[in-house]
């Protein structure tokens, strides 16, 4: 119960990696606010520990209201995990302006909105942890994902800059860069495609949402108190 009494916000916490993170923090005693557009599946863990706020992170007013409601419920926000993200894949010449803008609005502006809204409460407490979800695509690029790669690279630069700005308030800011993770979306791909992904990974397997959630938990824990401005890849050695 290392996070007993800790108040955590997880965006995109209704599914995938975000849902695994919710379960991880709840199981270790944290109070969790889930900010997402879709409702999370029922948890077997105590309902008194978590609540859901329908939130579009791309909308600053939505985020401001979610922050207000969370602070009314929890009084403080100790950890912010900016996990929400979308893809709208296409090669550059086939990508529409709408596809480009949608991904920027959620993946990058969403991180900006949430950090801007939540960080004043952390500054007031002179304590906090901000964890932003990037991707190995943000480090190395990927065909057909110029929009996604640009946002995830932007998240890394945003993280490093914010770590400089907030460090004096005892707030750490770090990024996590997942590789091939076996989310429900990947599981719907043809087995031949999944096998090709496995073969690219030195560990010869895909990661799980729980693998990423465990790194979130490390960065939120006492062991990572002197880690800030870092980008941790969770990719099974893919980017060696």
Supply the pLDDT for residue 59. Answer: 98
Supply the pLDDT for residue 239. Answer: 87
Q: What are the pLDDT tens digits along the chain (240 aa)?
A: 899 999 999 999 999 999 999 999 999 999 999 999 998 876 666 778 999 999 999 999 999 999 999 999 999 999 999 999 999 999 999 999 999 999 999 999 999 999 999 999 999 999 999 999 999 999 999 999 999 999 999 999 999 999 999 999 999 999 999 999 998 777 777 888 889 889 999 999 999 999 999 999 999 999 999 999 999 999 999 988
Cβ-in-10-Å burial (0-12, 13-18, 19+) of 86 comes to middle
CA 168-74-109 angle, to 5 degrees, is 60
Fold adopted by 7-179+210-232: Rossmann fold (3.40.50)
Supply the pLDDT for residue 203. Answer: 96
DSSP the chain: -TTTT-EEEEETTTSHHHHHHHHHHHHTT-EEEEEESSPPPPPSS-GGGEEEEE--TT-HHHHHHHHHHHHHHHS---EEEE-------B-GGG--HHHHHHHHIIIIIHHHHHHHHHHHHHHHHT-EEEEEE--HHHHH--TTBHHHHHHHHHHHHHHHHHHHHHGGGTEEEEEEEE-SB--HHHHTS-HHHHHHHHHHSTTSS-B-HHHHHHHHHHHHSGGGTT--S-EEEESTTTT-
Q: Decide if 236 contacts 201 (C-beta within 8 A).
A: yes
pTM greater than 0.85 (yes/no): yes
Spell out the long-range contacts of 64-73 with Cβ–Cβ below 8 A and sequence spacing 24 or more: 64/117, 66/33, 66/35, 66/117, 67/117, 67/118, 67/121, 69/33, 70/7, 70/9, 70/33, 71/121, 73/33
Distance of CA 70 to the CA centre of its chain: 18
Q: Which residues are catalytic?
A: 148
Cβ-in-10-Å burial (0-12, 13-18, 19+) of 39 comes to exposed
Please count the other Cβ atoms lying within 10 Å of the Cβ belonging to residue 61: 9
């Amino acid at each position: 119960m290392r996070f007993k009494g800790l108040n955590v916000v997880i965006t995109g916490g209704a599914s995938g990696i975000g849902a695994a993170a919710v379960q991880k923090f709840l199981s270790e005693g944290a109070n969790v606010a889930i900010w997402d557009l879709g409702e999370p599946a029922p948890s077997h863990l105590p309902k008194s520990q978590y609540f859901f706020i329908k939130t579009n992170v791309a909308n600053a007013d939505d985020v401001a209201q979610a922050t207000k409601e969370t602070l009314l419920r929890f009084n403080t926000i100790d950890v912010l995990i900016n996990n929400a993200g979308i893809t709208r894949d296409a090669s550059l010449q086939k990508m529409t302006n709408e596809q480009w803008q949608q991904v920027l609005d959620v993946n990058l502006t969403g991180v900006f909105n949430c950090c801007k809204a939540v960080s004043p409460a952390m500054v007031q407490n002179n304590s906090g942890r901000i964890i932003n979800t990037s991707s190995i695509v943000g480090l190395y690029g990927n065909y057909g994902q110029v929009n996604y790669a640009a946002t995830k690279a932007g998240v890394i630069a945003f993280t490093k800059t914010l770590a400089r700005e907030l460090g004096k308030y005892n707030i750490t800011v770090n990024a996590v860069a997942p590789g091939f993770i076996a989310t429900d979306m990947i599981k719907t791909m043809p087995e031949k495609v999944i096998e090709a992904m496995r073969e690219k990974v030195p560990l010869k397997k895909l990661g799980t949402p729980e693998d990423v959630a465990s790194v979130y938990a490390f960065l939120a824990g006492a062991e990572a108190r002197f880690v800030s401005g870092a980008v941790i890849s969770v990719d099974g050695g893919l980017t060696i």
